[in-house]
Structure 1
Amino acid sequence: SGGESGGDSGGDEGTDCSDSTYADLVLCTSWMRNDTETAAIIATDGSDNLVDVQSVSVTSADGSDYISITSGGVPSYTISFTAEMIAALEARPNASTDFAGAGPTVSVGDTVDFGADIGFNSTGCTRGETDEGAGFWPPGPECPEFIDRTIVLPVEASEATEDCYTPAGLSGVMVNGVSIFNWTDGAHYNNEGVWYNIAQKFEAYDFSVCGGHAAQGEYHHHNVAPCLGIQLDDDGSEHSPIYGWAPDGVPLHGPYVSNGSLAESCWQTRDYSATSESGCGETGARTCLLVDNTDLSQGTVSAGSSGPTTSETVTSQSGNTFTAESGFYFQDYYFDATCVDGDLTRMDIHNGHSHDDHGYHYHMTTGFPFTYGPTFYGKLHENAAIECQSDPYMSMGGGGPPSL
């Protein structure tokens, strides 16, 4: 799926992808294009704004062709509430304060547009003339805005020759133009630059019912996007379709490898029991780091600064509390190469694989790294939306754990 042909288009510069020599490439055909439908609720500047993807065209640089995607970053989701969704809203641990009233203002069977008020006490997205969408967002996240952004992807992905880590913030784009963010919320325990938060854990109650939220106005997904899955008719009866693209030109498919079979990450959580190979000699203690998170046999080294024990309570940036079990921090994970073992459902070190006619591709998984990473499979070209990060901490303004 990563692009079956490449090279120079010989005159396609600026041409709509559907009218170019790449018209049949999945990189050209997988986008949810729209030039008429505007957002039903969200209009941060008071004007009509187009949802999904506005243009897919060919551009050239340094003798190579790329596909350029322009979008406003806001989806066209419509949400139909099921009994399971309502139960999840009502079961929120801070439900008494998360909602402006006694609870959600929607019921089973109700259908609303993306951004419609469903009763949340949206402390980060306040009510006002320019803040349409308040009441849709849990306490904490900001209002999303239209971002009018262009991302350039290579026509053909090529395997990387150096490790490039996914950055905090933008690390790809969904087929509806929504941003993909990686595994982190940008924070670390006690601001000490050693134990880096996993967004999917710490922000579990910050995501909307569609599995995303906004930061600095940019709506994004960190993991599985259920509302997009519904739009793509991904019901688990076959291999999931493409949900998005990484900047290396490799497609990101949804969670299913085949009928009823979910893709599984082979990144495992450390066992912090006293005698475990991945532990620190004292049950529950986070006082050591793995020397190599791809090879447990390399042992551990002092963390320099301890993290919380696996039974301690930690508080997220939005005020939710959690027990800091293994898996809440990047340093809690290691890759188990023996897990892959030829099993089609188990992903490689980048959270992808290659089979049948799909070529190499990533999958969304319920476990870390959730989309792709920590490193990209493919090479990042010079026109990529992000630069190669030589370690997982560069984009967060730090060099990571000092002992490593």
Structure 2
Amino acid sequence: MTNTMNTITHFISKIKYYLNHLFFITLFIGITSHNVFADDVTADISIDTYALTRSMERNNGHWVLTYNLTVSSDKNITSVTGSLVGVPDDWIRTGDGNVSLGDLASGLQATDSFRVVLTSNTPDLSQFSWQFNGTPVDDNDDTGADILHDWMMNTEQQYSTYIPDALVHVESVINNGDSVTISASGIPDYQVLINQNILDAAAKHPSGDFSDGQGLTATLGDVVEFGQNVGWAVSPIGNACFTTGGEGYWPPGPDCPFDSNKSMDFPVIPNVHSSLCETGNGAIGYMINGTSVYNWSDARVDNNIWQRNAPVFEQYDMDICSGHAANGDYHHHFNSECLANTVNDLGTGHSPVYGFAKDGYAIYGPWHNEGVLAASSWRIRDYTDPIVGCSDGERSCLMVNEFDPSQGTTSATTTGYDLGYPYTLQPDFRGGTIYLNAGAYYQDMYWDETLANQGEQYLDVHNGHDHDQLGYHYHITVTRDEEDELTPAFPYIIGPTFYGECQ
């Protein structure tokens, strides 16, 4: 009899054990599959990882469940809190019963945990839902750039298709209080629709016949990924992209980009400079996709004086996204249609944020307003002009002060190439001859304060201005050529000096 009772008792205990575990499994599945109902900012938030269970225990006759909630948002939202809504009568919330997530940056995740006490082991999970509260940041309300949140984050460990081991976009944003550290590979994720402009530019390229005389292998309407082989001949020097990836994507220029594993510190709150600070060579900021921003120069000087403008002397080094690399660091010196497409800048209003200068001020695209381009106040010298020109109409004199043309000119210790001189690029595999018209060199330029004083779309000496709610910001500058195409306008992005303090 005793053995029979023990057997029955053991059987009942096992039934309770399995029922309890069946409830746990049912509860877990229910939590991980619930819907999020739209209310306040709830529609802008998604629950990405549900119910990372910490504990589930019997306590004073109740089930106590503690778990984490991980959420993300498709826009920037500040001061986010969450609470259960539509909770059935057989659920009792304990503690604060809420989650506090702080600020949600678009594409990033936040996590918090809380406890739920159940009065029944059969709750109606179909009524379980969340409501989130916060203040959405309208990306189109012209409230200015946010250096902590306006980056294209690689939240899913996405790697470049053609550049080995390189994560695309920005990998981390670390808020240090007074500064923010941005880390990136420097490799973008451009998807390029081959249009007639690209085909025409390739046809005009000195290396347009490539290695086999066939020209560009991509055709009209193709979509090309960054680094995909489009048929360009490889460079005869260096690794020719054989080991770094991207063979056939870049014209045979000086270098091929690779994962730079780079970082840069930016001030969270920028300050106006106390003294003029030149932009200098190398990276002077990052675009929001992690590519570097370089200034106007190609870092070379002709005849000991004449500093060369990159869009002129490096025009045949550029890929179909108007970028190239130096020491592996992929960068832009001037406007990139690929970047414009990435941020969906259609010229229907003020351009969105394209990046940040290392002084902390934002870089916007070329549009000041719908159909109105931001306008550089730098001018190309007319070498026949009595104030800014030279007596012989050639590059025989320099501006006394390029920031104040009224000071006139002084004789150059070394004259520059004649205007229109046919200059053969070296080394010769880069191909082609360029013509050194006015505007090829920094010394061909001067700043016209009378243009800047017109306000509106006209920019200051640093290539920026302050209007509406945007605060001070830089603009990428372009002009329309005779074929109505956008062409770079000096100083192209920033400079020659920063508005903010040097870092």
The question of whether the paired residues in 2 share the 8 Å contact of 1:239 and 1:259 is answered with: yes
Relative to structure 1, is the Cα distance of residues 157 and 100 closer, same or farther in structure 2, using a 3 angstrom cutoff?
A: farther
Give the corresponding residue for 2:268: 155
Partner amino acid, structure 1, of 2:345: D
Partner amino acid, structure 2, of 1:34: N
Query: Please, what TM-score do these two structures have when normalized by structure 2?
Result: 0.67
Partner amino acid, structure 1, of 2:421: E
Give the corresponding residue for 2:149: 29
Q: Look up the SS of the partner of 2:300 in the other structure.
A: coil
Return 5+ residue gaps in structure 1 as ranges.
Answer: 1-14, 385-404
CA distance in 2, matches of 1:137, 1:220: 13
Within 5 Å, give how 1:170-185 maps onto structure 2: 170-185=283-298
Give the corresponding residue for 2:163: 42
Q: Look up the SS of the partner of 2:406 in the other structure.
A: helix
CA distance in 1, matches of 2:240, 2:433: 26
Partner amino acid, structure 1, of 2:248: G
The question of whether the paired residues in 1 share the 8 Å contact of 2:309 and 2:441 is answered with: yes
Give the corresponding residue for 1:256: 367
Relative to structure 1, is the Cα distance of residues 330 and 128 closer, same or farther in structure 2, using a 3 angstrom cutoff?
A: closer
> Is 1:202 aligned to 2:323, yes or no?
no
The question of whether the paired residues in 1 share the 8 Å contact of 2:240 and 2:256 is answered with: no
CA distance in 1, matches of 2:169, 2:202: 27
Partner amino acid, structure 2, of 1:278: V
Match for residue 496 of structure 2 among 369, 374, 382: 374
> Is 1:320 aligned to 2:437, yes or no?
no
Query: Please, what TM-score do these two structures have when normalized by structure 1?
Result: 0.83
Shift of 1:311: 2.5
Within 5 Å, give how 1:116-155 maps onto structure 2: 116-123=228-235, 129-155=242-268
Return 5+ residue gaps in structure 2 as ranges.
Answer: 1-102, 111-135, 138-144, 479-488
Shift of 1:141: 3.2
Q: How many residues are matched?
A: 352
CA distance in 2, matches of 1:177, 1:128: 21
CA distance in 1, matches of 2:207, 2:251: 10
Match for residue 311 of structure 1 among 406, 420, 424: 420
The question of whether the paired residues in 2 share the 8 Å contact of 1:16 and 1:57 is answered with: no
Give the corresponding residue for 2:91: none
Partner amino acid, structure 2, of 1:134: E
CA distance in 1, matches of 2:474, 2:293: 13
Shift of 1:91: 2.3
Within 5 Å, give how 1:90-101 maps onto structure 2: 90-96=203-209, 98-101=210-213
Q: Look up the SS of the partner of 1:185 in the other structure.
A: strand
> Is 1:288 aligned to 2:397, yes or no?
yes
Shift of 1:183: 0.8
> Is 1:351 aligned to 2:463, yes or no?
yes
CA distance in 2, matches of 1:126, 1:256: 39
The question of whether the paired residues in 2 share the 8 Å contact of 1:295 and 1:335 is answered with: yes
Match for residue 386 of structure 2 among 265, 276, 288: 276
CA distance in 2, matches of 1:339, 1:50: 43
Shift of 1:95: 2.0
Shift of 1:93: 4.0
Relative to structure 1, is the Cα distance of residues 339 and 99 closer, same or farther in structure 2, using a 3 angstrom cutoff?
A: farther
CA distance in 2, matches of 1:179, 1:173: 4
CA distance in 1, matches of 2:383, 2:431: 26
Match for residue 235 of structure 1 among 320, 328, 346: 346
The question of whether the paired residues in 1 share the 8 Å contact of 2:286 and 2:357 is answered with: yes
The question of whether the paired residues in 2 share the 8 Å contact of 1:125 and 1:137 is answered with: no
Shift of 1:316: 3.0
The question of whether the paired residues in 2 share the 8 Å contact of 1:16 and 1:55 is answered with: no
Partner amino acid, structure 1, of 2:173: V
The question of whether the paired residues in 2 share the 8 Å contact of 1:364 and 1:372 is answered with: yes
Percent identity reads 38
The question of whether the paired residues in 2 share the 8 Å contact of 1:207 and 1:213 is answered with: yes
- CA deviations on 1:343-388 (whole Å, 9 max, x unpaired) are 41111111001111111000000211100111100112xxx3xxxx
Q: Could you list the runs of 4 or more consecutive aligned residues of structure 1 that deviate by over 6 angstroms after TM superposition?
A: 15-19
CA distance in 1, matches of 2:240, 2:181: 35
Match for residue 174 of structure 2 among 57, 67, 82: 57
Relative to structure 1, is the Cα distance of residues 330 and 231 closer, same or farther in structure 2, using a 3 angstrom cutoff?
A: same
Partner amino acid, structure 2, of 1:29: H
> Is 1:111 aligned to 2:223, yes or no?
yes
CA distance in 2, matches of 1:316, 1:76: 30
Higher RCO (CA < 8 A, seq sep 6+): 1
CA distance in 1, matches of 2:460, 2:369: 17
Partner amino acid, structure 2, of 1:291: V
The question of whether the paired residues in 2 share the 8 Å contact of 1:266 and 1:335 is answered with: yes
Relative to structure 1, is the Cα distance of residues 149 and 94 closer, same or farther in structure 2, using a 3 angstrom cutoff?
A: closer
